Structure 1
Amino acid sequence: MDELSQINQFLDRIQKNWNRVRFALGAYLIATTLTGLILSAALFFYLEPASASYFVPVLLLLVLGRYLLPYFHSDSLKNMDRDQAALLAEKKYPNLKNALINSAQLGNLINDPARENIFSTAMIKELLARTRKQLSGLDANSVVENNQTTPARNLFLATLTVTLAATLFLPDFWHQAFLNGNRTANTSPTAIAGKDNQKQETSTPKQSYQVTDLELTLNFPSYTRLPSKAIKPSDGSVKSLPGTEVAIKGKADKNFNEATLVVNANDSFLMESKDNLSLMGSFIVREKGFYQFKLKDASGNQILLPKKYPVKLERDQNPRIVLFPANPKPVYYDSDKIQVFYEGSDDFGIKSIELVAQLGDKTTRKKIKNLKESEKDIQGKFTWNLALERLEPGQEVQYYLEIKDNDNISGPNKGQSEMIRFTVFDSQKERENLVRLQDELTEKMIALLATGLVEANILKTTTKDALYGKKLLASNVDALIEIIGLAQHIKNQAQEFGQFPQPYLTLLNNIISGLKTIRQEKIKAIDKIQGTLMKPTPVGYSMHPIEILNDRMVTHLEKDILFLIKITNRQKMDQVLDLESKLSELTEKLQEEFENIKNKNSPLNSNQLKSKLNQIQQTLKQLLDKLAQQNQSLPDEFLNSKSFKTMNLQEMMSSIEKVQELANQGKMEEAMEQLKKMAEELRNFAEQLNQTDSSTEELVDNQMMEQLDESMRELENLEKKQGKIINKTSEINQKLRKLQSKKFESLVKKFFEELKKDVESIRSILEEDKEYLNQHEAMKKTGKLLEKESALNQEIQSLGQKAIDSSLKDDLAENFAELNDRRRQLSDTLMELNSLRTQGFQEFKEKLPELQKKYDSLKELAELNDLNEFNLLFKNTYPEIFRWQGNLRKSRNLLEGIGDKMAADLRQVTRLNGEISKKLGSLKRSIEASDESLLSEEDKNKLKKLAQQEKNMRGKTEEMRKQFEEMNQRNPMLPPALAQSMQRAGRNLKQAEARLSQNQTQRGIESENKAMKSIQETRKVISELKSSGSRMSRQGKPQNQTRLGTGSRRDSRRGGAVRMQKEKVLLPSEDQYKVPSEFREEILDAMKKETPKNYEQLVNEYYRELVQ
């Protein structure tokens, strides 16, 4: 039937595809097997007689067998009939539901009469029709997957790749394997023959032989690249590198039938003979020992000659390498790049150079260079990017360079450079040191402040002479120098970190600049007092200047101390929060691990558990140490004393040890409970820290932040107004320029005709000077000497490097002698150059093309009648002529003939430049004078209104300048650049107002743009201050906390208001920590009598409490 034939054709196509895939798979498997067997045999003979000659081939065969055997046991290589093809199609297309296999089996029975008792013909036909219909939408080519051969193909390619790699990287791989194979085949029959001949030696008398006229040829290993060495005549002794082939020729004193070379009494090698007297053979030097000759006489006796010829080994020296770090430092940042130079050498050839670094317990290697061509000497450099390594802060790193030679016989041999050590920069530690320096700075400033307070009262209540005032000022100056130096050091350190906000640096800048000004004023006062000593005191002399300076110093110090302590406390609190965050993360991770162990999701690893508990202990200890330090220098509300006692170190440590013990005993439930208690305590403590952090006084108060916001809005308004003024002025200016172009068109054209003549005259003068200098004999000689000087400098540089590179070699003295000779030649050349007296002219000659190019551009602009561009370029060009006039005039000992010529030409060029400048000035004045007449009354009125608007804006900028100055005096964290920018804006607005009033539109636009730039700069400073400055007000506004470079922000998911617990909180009363108003007076009274004990400590505590 037609349906049955179509079904059979479908199955035949599947069988055809199966056979095609089966053939490809078999081809790959056969090729892989043959390649693997050939490679294994070659490796066996190549590595013989080393022990690896068995291990490597067997390992290779095992690996291939592991992948090949499954294919031979599978059905992939078996033939397929139609029923199997149908089953395969059913597996590919499950929707057939066995219809294809049923059709394939029942279709052959349709003409069988016996099947009528079982199946009806109609039923079979219906099945065949349905099956054919289903097959019409199927693709027989997709039943057999072509990717079945992919693993076999990949295995063949891998085997082929290993074979190619062995061919490329193992020297003389196939040749050596072939030689060793032939040698093994030849030695076997020789050994058998030797055993047979031993029996005959007892029956036949032996003859005595002597070998003379020995000649040796040493064929060194290929990696040495040494030529063959012939030793003729030779005493037979061999001394060479391992792997050397020794070819031996000699003559026997009697005829012999066969000659054998015996090495170390073990290995025998058959020798060739042409006339039964001469003998030739060879062997490979592998170890120290000897060799002998064994001859076979006519009777068949084997005679081993007694003389033993020694075989000695020469050693391939280890390669050498020297390391030269370009920027050696004891400390590097983890993002730095280390550049190293190196010089390596080997007696035969270098294979590779690597950088070996010890990073803690881990050793890393970096390839620097692989040499395909075996060079004996090499120089180069390498840059190691530390950012690519996983370095920990404070980690010690050791590194060196390792060099390998190309010895493929017994090597490769290795050598290494000296080891270099450095430490990774620990930013956290350095920031802590910076906080300590800030504390020290605060203490010094408080001590000076206390002195100023005491002395202020003394100066007001008693009368002191000039000598007392001088001593007081001198002591203050010394203290200020020390404070300024420490503040400058802190600022430099903070700038190196690069993560501190601008307000922090602004505070340090204001402290330094303010105290410097006070110090200079005190020094001037000392100079004035010095002038009055030992002289009659003037009637009007008083100590008031000293009192004023002292009061100014006290005021400045009080303000600086206040904000310095605020910002230092903020840094300390940030460090505490970072440690608490780290501790919470470690605790949560440990709790998650306990949950996994409890749920049997992961096994118990006691070492890993102990390591994590140790990390928690160390972090907890650091945290409590920080809190202890904080509590020593802060009032009690920084950390509640009760909460501090609950965080007892010993109790927490014992709790952690208990968790460890319970976990080791397998009591996971109890360990979890103990860990939850510890986590709860940490959470409560985190909430207290968050409350303390939230209640910390702002570095910039709410009123000042509101003023900055208001100033920002005003600046935006000023910028909009100024933009509108610029646009209106530009419209009037464009209208005016159109009118002027019509009126002065003929005048400008005539003007540029005259300018072109002047420019052309200058160009001709400069061209004439260029030609004159090129043709002058002295200048020609100067050029040749300069070329010689340049060549000698290059040679000196090259020879200097060569002398440095040969520091470990024998030709060092020769290189230095050649270097000194070049230096003497250079000295003679320079003396000859000076004698020519043309150095100044040579410099002018070199700059002359640049001048000519500018005047060429001026000519082009003159032809285009572009007045503005011509004027701008001319302003930048003619001063250079004055400069060269001055240079040649000031130069001494110049050659007279050239000097007179150049001076006269430059004077002529200067005169022409003056004419051009006059013409430009007169034309510009004529055009500006026409502004008044060309402007309409309407435009003049507009300009007056714009001038009035500029005046109003100037008044606003003056108010803002005063406001910024006042804010800077109240808070030194605000930069003085705010007031300075507004001052520049006011000055430019004033210029714009004056120019607009005088109807000078073009110049007015220039002033307007400058004013706009100053306003924008002020806006930018305020924007940066708000974004990277201190914390914003919390009254309905988001927080923008400055972490002052101490770490990441705190995770709001742990502790804080998000997980606030209910507990009793003791709120302090209003006057609980209020400093008594009489405290300052009590200090002053006490100072009058006697300095109290622990004076400085009490004053420090007072001012720390004062700012809280």
Structure 2
Amino acid sequence: MDNIKNLISKTKIKLGIYHIINTIIKIFIVLFLLIFINYFLDLLSLSSHNIRFVLLFLCISALFYLTVKTIKKIIYLKNADEEISLLIQKKNENLKDDLIIAVQLTKNIYPNTSVELTDAFIKHTSSKISTDMLKNVIGPKNLKNIFIIFTVLIINFIIFSSQLTLKRYFLIFTSATEFTVSPKDTTITAGSDVTIFVVPKSENITPYIFYREINSSWQQKKMKNIENKKYAEKIENVMSDTEYYVELLDTKSVKYNITIVSPMAISVSKVEYIYPLHIGLANKTETEADIEAPRGTTIKITAQTNRSIKEAFLLTNTAEKIRTKMSKNEITGQFIVQNQSEYWFEPVLNGETIPQPTKHKISIIKNNPPKIDIIAPALNVMISENGRLKIVYSAEDDFGISEISINYLTLNKKNQIKSFTKPEKKTLDEYEIIIPDLNLKPKDVVEYRLEVTDSGNLSEKLTSYSEKYSFEILSYELEHQLIEMELNEFNMELNEVLSRQLQSKTALTKQDFENASLMQQKAQELMKSSSSNLKKTIDKMANDPLTSYSNYLEYENMLDAVEMLGNQKMNEAINSLSNKQTDNASKIQDEILEELKRLSTFSENIVKNQKMEDMLSTTREMADSADMIEQKLSDLKNIPDPQKMKELQKATERLSELISQLSEKLAKMPQETPNDFANNEKMKKIDLMQMKLSTDEMKWSLQMGNIDKAIELAQKLSKQVSDILNSIENSVNSTNSNMNSGLQLEINQTIGELDTIINEQQKILTDTQKIDAKRLEKTLALQKELLKKLAEKQKRAIVELGNSKSIIEKSTFTHPGIYNLYIHPERNMEIVLGEFASQKIDKSRNLLVEIISMLDNLEKNISIINAKNHITKSKTIEQEILDELNNFSPDKSALYNKNDFELQKQLSENQKNNQLRTQSLTKTFSDLSKKSLSIPSDITKKISSSEKSMGSASEELNNTNIPSAVDYEKKALDELLSSKESLQNASDQMTQMSKSGNSGMSGGMPRIRASGTGGYTGFRSGFVKIPSADEYKPPKELRETIIESLQQKYPQKYDTIIKDYFKRLIE
């Protein structure tokens, strides 16, 4: 019995514990369900305060229900022995109904039931009871299902715990969810986007934004999580006023407004440039927003806005942020240009999106170095020790020039020549170097340059330099004497060449070819050496102001003649002697001897002319010296100066020296000057004694300090020197005029006669060419007829060759290689036929020769008689065609009619007459070449050759050989034109000599470089004035002459060459 009670008691306890645990798990399950239901409602945006209240109420009700139910079950267990017994029996089938009966028997004594049997039954049942039966009644497996549900829920709770807002789910009567919204109320421009930001303070739930344009429906968007507890959403392309609010769970924000405003616009209206003081630029105002200015420039910018703003800043790309001044809708700001490259304005807007600013460029004008150029003389010069060198220069700088200096590099001396109180951007000016102030000696070479400095700050000043040039101090008298010595040496060498040439001629006369050749070679060697030395001397003469221009040109002509003798004629003579051609060598040597005698005579005359010019140069220097003395005496009287007195005494001494020099030259005048000059009455009347006395008396007066007397004597002396100068100048001009005018007149008359001959020759050539054109036209017509006939023959030849090939193809004994021998002849025959058909014979002659050779070879390799006969016929036809082509020469009667023959005879007669007229000019040309070196000696040879060509042309016309006659006529015309050109050059040269000055100058002369390059040749005689800055435009006459020259036709001598060229193109 005790076992039964004990089992039931323990079962009650275990069941009670089970009900309590089961209820606790269910309570947690209900709570978890409440949490997750709220969570999912939040995710679906279905949650609200009422729903949360209902859910919480249901949850509390469920918890209450579960608790009450569990308590009731526990209380019920106290009196549930029978139910427990049944439960134990159900779980332990071996008990059957014994347990429930025993329990019932224990509680009630049934009537008519034996006590002993009852006790025995209870004991028997009690003996079957054990505590192990309790395990089968209830255990952990009874909580398995509910525990699984609980486990799943608690795991999910742990996983989503960070997203669950428990306070909100259980404390529904607390305050609403808190979050912040930005930018709240804002202003934007139409079409812009707005981004709304939301930051919840606690809950990690995604908010929603609701927005709409005025008078339109609401739109909803879920906001995006951009970072931890921060959400954003963009409202795009807002075109009108819009309102919006944010909803987080069941909490709404207030409504905010997005207001559309016009875009903020800032436009630059004015830019003021305030340049630094050291820059030579005037301040200015521009409307262009982009800035271009040098560093240090203050820029003041004024801009306009389209609506009022409280504040704005001026920004640059160098991180400058400058506060501007505001006045209504106007902004003003300024900055100093340094290294910026762009600038822009940035307005300060209250809650409004700042638009992308318009950026403007800042271009910094670089401070380039200034430029300076020497315009004239832009070359190295030679100048007398008392001369003055005028330099014309130009300088410029972007910002302004401050000063210009001249730097004598050789002397290590620098002088400022110009400065500017106010910077100038460009200047064109001149500066005069006074040579005596530099204390230089003859042969000194001074290198100099100009230097220009801009007007920048002290630390930024830039200096530039001109090209370097030099001037050499020259003693013209000494240089001139050296030139005279070299020319005398040349004359001696020329006589020695003449001597050697005579010795060679003598040896040739004796048939001694060895000695004749040896002496000819020695003459050539000396001639080439003399030619080289003369060239160097002429280069010096180009820089010698005491050498007259006419003499300079004469020596240049002589150099051409000497080089021609040494390089051409003497080479021909040596070759003839080497080949022992006696007659030819003798003829060439005679020409050389004649030319050497001519050159020797001219050389002596040139020296005499130069002596005459030297006398004039000395007199001019005397006149300059006398005038200077008179001027200095006047200056000394006004302002006494010991230094000027010394200069005056020095000038007086120099005048005495010049008088002595002139006196010596006058004494040698009959021997050293031209006869016309020496015999001139004015020259014979010159008396220097009175002038020398006046000079000595003036020197004595200066020593005594009698300035007035010295001035009187100086004036008298100046008059005497002036009279002598006039006399010598007139004599020189008269002599030169007599020498040149007669010769020039004779040359011009000869040119006139030559023009007549040339015109006649051109007429003869034109008429002959017309006849030749008719000949060509008829020849072409006959050639066309011949080619038609030959084309038919060529076709027959091709047919014969084809017949031969057909026979070969039908034969069964022919070797296959024989067909290859037909390929080349057939192709070439077709080419010849094609040329005949197109009236051409470019390749036909050569191809026919090849075809005949190929047919001959083919004939030898074919054994079939019929085929060979056809090849023989084809070859014969080809040979006939070739012969007709080679022998084609129309008869003259077929080419010319009776009138043509008569015209040819007339032209032959005209050509003969023109030849006789040309022959009469030969002696005239020979005489002219002996009177001036300007006329080359070979001009006689040209005119003689032209005469011979005319004779040959006349014979050819008489024999009706028109093409040959045309060639001879052209040759004769070309030689006539060349002769005329030589005469015209001589005439122009003489005209130039007559117009040139006669020595004396103190300005700079160009230096001729030894290499011969550089573009400076020739000589200028007399004082040369360097043009001033405003004299660089060419004169009107020169410009008109150039334009007129450009409009003229090509030279006459090229007329026949050009016509012949086009004629041959047509043929």
Q: Shorter-chain TM-score: what band?
A: 0.3 to 0.5
Greater strand share, structure number: 2
* TM-score of the aligned structures, taking structure 1 as reference length: 0.36
Greater helix share, structure number: 1
Larger radius of gyration: 2
